Amino acid sequence: GAGVSQSPRYKVAKRGQDVALRCDPISGHVSLFWYQQALGQGPEFLTYFQNEAQLDKSGLPSDRFFAERPEGSVSTLKIQRTQQEDSAVYLCAASGRLNTEAFFGQGTRLTVV
Amino acid sequence: QKEVEQDPGPLSVPEGAIVSLNCTYSNSAFQYFMWYRQYSRKGPELLMYTYSSGNKEDGRFTAQVDKSSKYISLFIRDSQPSDSATYLCAMSGYQAGTALIFGKGTTLSVSS
């Protein structure tokens, strides 16, 4: 997506390992979303930031999932004690004032073995 | 029942065909309706969005929203092999920061 960079592109983790996924939107994107996309499914909402404030984390599936955006730009999604069901593509989307301007990164494909 | 329903296909058409992709939804609070295209191992790319009911045209693509029926469509005219991808419908409320609710996506294959 235009200007949204995610790293790593691929991550293989052993079950129980902690992982950190990074999203780097272009400057000026006030809103930042994390989504989880399982194989053959549409993206599902995880959490939302407006600048540095995490305003909605209702989609996080468990307390093993944690996200932060301390300076209102780069965001990190952390998953502790990964489980096989965490295997998915994690997408970051950033937008200006309207959801209609949302641009997605290429995603991080997480495989837990 | 999920908030947004979309037939996953797959849908296979010959080059030049008109393609119709559809979604239904249950939440009458949705105000923005979007179509994303997703190539394999890539992030979703915004194709078009529509606010409330009506039609919107952009080149070979036409998006339609019928709020009374809670039904949205994307038409692709003169389909090309490069249109082969998964098409995701997405919807949200009016407020900024409202999460997008996606359908499962329809996989389209256009053969030359």
pLDDT at A55: 93
The answer to whether B99 contacts A59, with C-beta atoms less than 8 Å apart, is yes
For residue B85, how many C-alpha atoms fall within 13 Å in the half-sphere facing its CB? 19
Give me the residues of chain A with pLDDT under 50, please.
Answer: 1
Shortest distance, CA B58 to any CA of chain A (angstroms): 15
What is the full per-residue pLDDT of chain B (112 aa) written as tens digits? 679 999 888 999 999 999 999 999 999 999 999 999 999 999 999 999 898 888 999 999 999 999 999 999 999 999 999 999 999 999 988 776 788 999 999 999 999 9
Quote the CA–CA distance of B19 and B77 in Å, as a whole number. Answer: 7
Ramachandran angles phi, psi of A39, nearest 5°: -60, 125
Distance, in Å, from the CA atom of A86 to the CA atom of A67, rounded to the nearest integer, reads 15
The per-residue pLDDT for B93 is 84
- Does B58 contact chain A (CB < 8 Å)? no
Q: Which residue in A has a C-alpha nearest to residue B98's C-alpha? A: A99
A56 vs B41, B99, B100: nearest CB: B99
* Closest to B3 measured CA to CA, from B21, B22, B27, B23: B27
pLDDT of A1: 46
Q: Which residues of B touch A108 (CB under 8 A)?
A: none
> Which residue from A minimizes the CA distance to B3?
A44
The separation between CA A108 and the C-alpha centre of its own chain, rounded to angstroms, equals 8
Which pLDDT belongs to residue A99?
A: 62
Q: Do A4 and B43 touch (CB under 8 A)?
A: yes
